[in-house]
Amino acid sequence: MLFPEAQVRIWLYTQPADMRKSYNGLCALVKQQLQDDPLSGQLFVFINRKRTQMKVLYFDRSGYCIWGKRLEQGHFHFRSTPEGKRSLSWTDLKLIVEGIDTESIRQFKRYKKP
């Protein structure tokens, strides 16, 4: 399991992604579709059309890393957006990975450091 730093931004690509893509293909998706820099150290999450596979691309100090998960049963639940890109918190990512529907949960107000 990956353990990102507290300030790392996490981006979900809400369009279906081809899970045959590896480092170069996912970097191209980040540059062209998400209009972002894959070298920024942010986490980029990709899910396939069936919502049974997930890949997370990120760049640490020495190179690219891909973390992947394939479900044997069920599928990932997430809220899609028309712009194709959605910001996630670390908690949202953990909920999606664990199979919890993020649309049906209620999140109560918490203190956020300004």
Residue-level length of the chain: 114
Contact residues for 106 (Cβ-Cβ < 8 A; gap 6+): none
pLDDT at residue 101, rounded to an integer:
78
Give alpha helix (H) positions in 4-98.
23-32, 90-98
pLDDT at residue 17, rounded to an integer:
93
pLDDT at residue 66, rounded to an integer:
94
Q: Tens digit of pLDDT per residue, the chain (114 long)?
A: 455 566 789 999 999 999 999 999 999 999 999 999 999 989 999 999 999 999 999 998 889 999 999 999 988 988 777 888 899 988 888 889 888 877 777 777 778 778
Please name which of 68, 76, 69 lies closest in space to residue 101, comparing C-alpha atoms.
76
Distance CA 10, CA 25 (A): 19
